[in-house]
Structure 1
Amino acid sequence: MKIAELGADGTEQAYDAMRQLRPHLTSAGFVRLVNEVQRPQGYRLVASWDALSGRVVAAAGFRVQHMLAHGPVLQVDDLSTIPAARGQGHASRLLAWLEREARFLGCAQLHLTAGTHRYDAHRLYLRHGFAIRSFQLSRQL
């Protein structure tokens, strides 16, 4: 299982995994949004490849944020695995990679947001030592 960061020229490789989480995005729209809007704001992508097919089957999008409450934190915006590859350790290895990167970057914490309906993701994150410490509230405008 290969884990590596994707540069701008590799963004499209993460689309199949990310569309599981962000189905409203087309492939071209995903690449454009990531490369033209999010990367300039510090967004990065890391991926996990299936050893047999050589395809990216899981990906995580993240950035470093500096917060008054916590100092620098590595914020995971997106973490997704294609259904056929779930339960094979891809997300766990991505989380381990993200933790190492957070430590390397001097982050005090690793944060992620998961929709309230994503129970399987909650179980995964709790197994990996995450704790529910607050609610993220939103309001549609």
Structure 2
Amino acid sequence: MTTPHTVAELDDENTALAFEAMRELRQHLTSADEFVAAVRVQRKEGYRLVASFDADGRVVAVAGFRPMTNLYVGFHLYIDDLSTLPSARRQGHGGALLRWVDDEARRLGCEQVHLDSGTHRHEAHSRYFSAGYVIPAFHFSKKV
């Protein structure tokens, strides 16, 4: 039997709690203050943070997402960030966050959830496949 995970949305006042977990994915972030400021800007575009807590009340995994609309899929949730501290991996925190985001997508009237993942993140890809995600396209980018 698995232990239920505590998952809760973070607001402006407690965003900094997610810094350590987010920095595992976004290593360019140098301080909690920088992270909080960046999230504050993104929140103006609908960005939201949800965290999974360990038994001691520490944020060990975090998901950043936003509702968005585009022509190819319509209204959906897009996961910008999903990260778990190495010490908390394989304990169900990522799955708990994905289920929370799925429930929120349904609540908002979205029919799909999308995310991009670095090609080298094989462990994360396994998690996404087991959660029902598929790879419908390649994502291309270039610096200008």
The verdict on a shared fold, with TM-score over 0.5 as the criterion, is yes
TM-score w.r.t. the length of structure 1 is 0.97
What is the count of residue pairs matched by the alignment?
139
Aligned equivalent of 2:113, options 110, 118, 123: 110
Q: Tell me what 2:23 maps to.
A: 19
Q: Tell me what 2:134 maps to.
A: 131
Q: Does 1:39 align with 2:43?
A: yes
* Secondary structure of residue in 1 paired with 2:44: helix
Q: What one-letter code is carried by the residue in structure 2 that aligns with 1:15? A: F
Deviation at 1:62, TM superposition (A): 0.1
List runs of 5+ in structure 1 lacking aligned partners: none
Q: What one-letter code is carried by the residue in structure 2 that aligns with 1:49? A: F
Q: Tell me what 2:102 maps to.
A: 99
* Secondary structure of residue in 2 paired with 1:41: coil
- Give the Cα–Cα distance (whole angstroms) in 2 for the partners of residues 103 and 28 of structure 1: 33
Deviations 1:32-59 (A, max 9, x none): 1001x100110000000001x2100000
Deviation at 1:81, TM superposition (A): 0.2
Deviation at 1:60, TM superposition (A): 0.2
Runs of 4+ in 1 over 3 A off after TM superposition: none
Identity of aligned residues (%): 53
Q: Tell me what 1:89 maps to.
A: 92
* Secondary structure of residue in 2 paired with 1:103: helix
Aligned equivalent of 2:52, options 48, 52, 62: 48
Q: Tell me what 2:35 maps to.
A: 30
Q: Does 1:63 align with 2:55?
A: no
List runs of 5+ in structure 2 lacking aligned partners: none
Deviations 1:67-97 (A, max 9, x none): 1111101000000000000000000000000
Report the RMSD for the aligned CA atoms in angstroms: 0.7
- Give the Cα–Cα distance (whole angstroms) in 2 for the partners of residues 73 and 67 of structure 1: 8
